[in-house]
Amino acid sequence: MQLRYAVRGAIWVVLYLLFILAPLFALLAGSIPPTRDFWTEFSVAMGYAGLAIMGLQFGLTARFRYVTDPWGEDVIYHFHRQISLIAVGLVVAHPLILFVVRPELLALLNSIQAPWRARFAAVSIYSLIALVVMALWRTKLNINYELWHLTHIVLAVVAVAAGLLHMIGWGFYLDDPWKRSLWIGLTVFWIGLLLYVRIVKPLFMLRRPYHVSEVRKERGDTVTLVMQPDGHAGFRFRPGQFGWLTLWGSPFKITGHPFSFSSSAEAVDGRVEMTIRNLGDFTSAVDKVPAGQRVYIDGPYGAFTIGNPADMHVLIAGGVGITPMTSMIRTLADRGDPRPVILLYGSKDWESITFREELETLKARLNLTVVHVLADPPPGWTGERGFITAEVFKRHLPPPYADHEYFICGPNVMMDAIEAALGQMKVPMSKYHSERYSFV
């Protein structure tokens, strides 16, 4: 499976680069406009490539399982975020270089007197900068998730559409009708990807609703929603995967949030469970969801899942990172898997350990070892205390390290420490998997 994913991943990388560069070099085919100086042509090439990268951002977040499976959704979103900086750099460099080599173009900054083609360029660049600033510092700017998401979509469409109108308005390379059609077609395709996520997928979800059959309070200010498919068979997921849950309103609303499934993947009736911790935002209202409420789930997604050859599974969870691990443990128990499972589980204190009792129960059905690591242990506690560090991790892990399969989900600090430790222990990258649960 891993080799197949590696090949698919490589194919997608090549296609991604082709989608950026082929439309640029297509400008050199057919009738070519008069040559200008090197810097002008260089800046124009960067502008076109920057717009293509921006357009492909719609594809990265279009939730195509076939594309995202080799990487995992969190990595795709990470790439989406990082590559946006490259796109901004390219798009901003385009006018800056032009201003240096042709200072007379500085007059175009006066938006009142500038022609429309220059105004579109300004709108595109300002939208892009606003979009990236809001995405990178949403939390610091204290912007509500739903408002940010809506603004993000609007700014992205405006940035791409205005960029295209700027190119067409300038007309230098797009005078040829087929080249103009190519770039217009590409833009329509990019925005079509957005419409696919926001209209086609919700339409599909509308026909496949779920209802909340049980709301179960768990330890650690956490709630489990048990959801049953209404009038359809549901979907099968692999343990560790997640879905986008729309809890209130129709699937067309921009209110879907990603949550890991916590139930066993062996459930045959299509039932899925999501365990959600109260983080003070919209999650604080999850415990007020009434039984019977209609909800929508878009899934499953994610590459954070068991299924590769391993002599044992090592699960490292911090806080609500226990959710996908619970799905794995329940599934392995349901499958009667004889291989050992070690769970290193970091929690605030003894009382807030989500699934504490169930994990003890599961030991009867599975070769499961649970190591609790408490930040605030009770008096007389003899177990691990503090946080899950590389030292704690190594203390409980039997060799040979490279034969185990590792899953890590929790706070970034913990994940960075464990990933670094695995690297030092010569565990190959293919043997460990990590999921950042705050990827959007």
Partner 1 sequence: MRRLFADRLVLATGVIVILLSILFALSRVGVS
Gap between the Cα atoms of 137 and 177, Å rounded: 41
Residues in contact with partner 1, counted by CB under 8 A, come to a total of 39
Examine residue 162 and tell whether it contacts partner 1 (CB under 8 A).
no
Scanning residues 12 to 71, which ones bind partner 1 (CB under 8 A)?
Answer: 13, 16-17, 20-21, 24-25, 28, 32, 35-39, 41-42, 45-46, 49, 53, 71
Rounded CA Rg of the chain: 25
Cross-strand pairs, 432? 406
Q: C-beta of 14: minimal distance to partner 1 in Å? A: 11
Tokens 């996908």 belong to residue: 324
Considering the complex, state which of residue 29 and residue 206 has its C-beta at the smaller distance from partner 1: 29
Six-digit token pair at 378?
Answer: 């009770």
Q: Which sign does the torsion angle of CA 97, 103, 109, 111 carry?
A: negative
Scanning residues 73 to 112, which ones bind partner 1 (CB under 8 A)?
Answer: 74-75, 78-79, 82-83, 85-86, 89-90
Q: C-beta of 405: minimal distance to partner 1 in Å? A: 14
Q: C-beta of 36: minimal distance to partner 1 in Å? A: 7
Binding segment for partner 1 (CB under 8 A), chosen from 121-129, 198-206, 255-263, 425-433, is 425-433
In this structure, which amino acid lies at residue 174? L
Gap between the Cα atoms of 118 and 143, Å rounded: 31
Q: C-beta of 423: minimal distance to partner 1 in Å? A: 8
Gap between the Cα atoms of 433 and 400, Å rounded: 18
Site string for partner 1, 373-412 (x = CB under 8 A): ----------------------------------------
Q: In the set 152, 201, 404, 436, which binds partner 1 (CB under 8 A)?
A: 436
Six-digit token pair at 98?
Answer: 């032009």
Among 284, 218, 234, 221, CA closest to 257 = 284
Gap between the Cα atoms of 217 and 225, Å rounded: 9
End-to-end, the C-alpha distance of the chain in Å comes to 27
Per CB under 8 A, residues contacting partner 1 are 13, 16-17, 20-21, 24-25, 28, 32, 35-39, 41-42, 45-46, 49, 53, 71-72, 74-75, 78-79, 82-83, 85-86, 89-90, 419, 423, 429, 432-434, 436
